[in-house]
Amino acid sequence: MTSFDLDALAALGASVPPTDEWARTQASRRARQPTHLTAPAGSLGRLEGLSIWLAGTQGSCPPRPIRAPRLVIFAGDHGVAHTGVSAYRPEATAQMLRRLLAGDAAVSAVADLVGASVRAVDLAVDADLDDLPAEVTAYKVRRGSGDIATGPALTRGEAERAFAVGIAVADDEVDRGADLLITGEIGVGHTTAAAAVVAVLTGADVASVVGRGSGIDDRAWMIKCAAVRDAARRGRTKATDPVALLAEVAGADLAALSGFVLQAAVRRTPVVLDGVACAAAALVAHRIGPRSAQWWLAGHLSGEPAHRLAVEALQLDPVVDFGIRLGDGTGALLALPVLRAAGYTLAQPVVVDQPAARWGHPDARPTSGGVGTEDRAR
């Protein structure tokens, strides 16, 4: 098993490349060129910024169509769920995973609609799932992470193994041809672990990071606050060692997510992040490789306060805000059509013959420019 000491993590972080400056610059010029579209420069708002980001991650201007988006969902139970921090019993994780694999989950329908394929990986579901496909179960680290309210979620070795799983899965998906990766998580109690990670890495107080998660009442919220407080107190002593922090307060699913989003950046593959668990994992990965955030897009903003704090710390601007709290990738998938539209506006210009056409002059006759074919020359 690979050992991820501080030197190894530093080397991994240093291997993250920046996104392509040439493509970003060309995309920015193209988006703001007065004759590029039959609309004033800047009128497409955030679509321009998204198209520039996509061009930079692809190293191509105009950006190529997204043809093989892949949602990867990491599943794992959290021991803290047994203390009453969630509206659901821990056994619900295995049930949710089975529904997902059967195609009966909400995220399955949304993925079909937007044209994304789905993969699930069991890291720490507290159930016997040997009847599921090996692609799902082969990477399991343990049955349920520990209760972070009273002690570590994982041993150091387990955290390193889970982190390595994330790296391996990212490599596997890129090697299979994924041109955009989307993250998701399934696990009762995951918002508690994510809140503890965010509290440690942002310095926020407990009350400002703990949300209602699955729809908990006031009593459960207070139990959750106490769990995050105690976990974060221990976690702050591990803040300078990202893997030690994952072991102390996160869990196997979040540890794998951290390795996944970091390795995607190493492999020059853009990532759309989903909810609070994915953002918390990305915060840890960002500590390892700060350039990695250039490769990430916040797909949506959930109702969890820790999610907002995490994306702000990463300096990411969520694409949509529909109050989705599922965490399984549903919110991130909704950003995919928007991202595709952004790339399309840059790749399918309508070039005008007369400037008056931009302002609706009745005598102007625009001519279709077709698909952009700018050659990359260096």
Report the Cα–Cα distance between both ends of the chain, in Å, rounded.
41
Per-residue pLDDT of the chain (378 residues; tens, 9 = 90+): 678 999 999 999 999 999 999 999 999 988 776 545 556 666 678 899 999 999 999 999 999 999 999 999 999 999 999 999 998 888 999 999 999 999 999 999 999 999 999 999 999 999 999 999 999 999 999 999 999 999 999 999 999 999 999 999 999 999 999 999 999 999 999 999 999 999 999 999 999 999 987 788 999 999 999 999 999 999 999 999 999 999 999 999 999 999 999 999 999 999 999 999 999 999 999 999 999 999 999 999 998 999 999 999 999 999 999 888 888 999 999 999 999 999 998 886 555 444 444 444 444 444 334 333 333 433
State if pTM tops 0.85: yes
For residue 203, the enclosing domain spans: 69-338
Q: Are 314 and 290 in contact, with CB atoms under 8 Å apart? A: no
Q: Are 181 and 169 in contact, with CB atoms under 8 Å apart? A: no
Q: Are residues 31 and 175 in the same domain?
A: no
Kindly write down the DSSP assignment for every residue of 207-239, as one continuous string: HHH---TTT--HHHHHHHHHHHHHHHHHHGGGT
Q: Are residues 212 and 294 in the same domain?
A: yes
Contacts of 288 (CB under 8 A, 6+ apart): 9, 10, 12, 13, 242, 258, 262
Q: Are 115 and 67 in contact, with CB atoms under 8 Å apart? A: no
Q: Are residues 73 and 129 in the same domain?
A: yes
Q: Are residues 248 and 310 in the same domain?
A: yes
Tokens 């949509």 identify what position? Answer: 320
Does residue 378 form part of some domain?
A: no
Q: What is the C-alpha to C-alpha distance for residues 194 and 279, in angstroms, rounded to an integer?
A: 8
| Strand-pair category, 367-368 with 271-273 | unpaired
CATH number at residue 27: 1.10.1610.10
Does residue 377 form part of some domain?
A: no
Does residue 103 form part of some domain?
A: yes
Q: Are residues 170 and 251 in the same domain?
A: yes
Q: What is the C-alpha to C-alpha distance for residues 120 and 328, in angstroms, rounded to an integer?
A: 10
The total number of structural domains that make up the chain: 2
Side chain identity at residue 28, one-letter code: S
C-alpha torsion angle, residues 275, 278, 284, 290 (rounded to 10): -90
Does residue 126 form part of some domain?
A: yes
Does residue 376 form part of some domain?
A: no
Q: Are residues 216 and 166 in the same domain?
A: yes
CATH number at residue 204: 3.40.50.10210
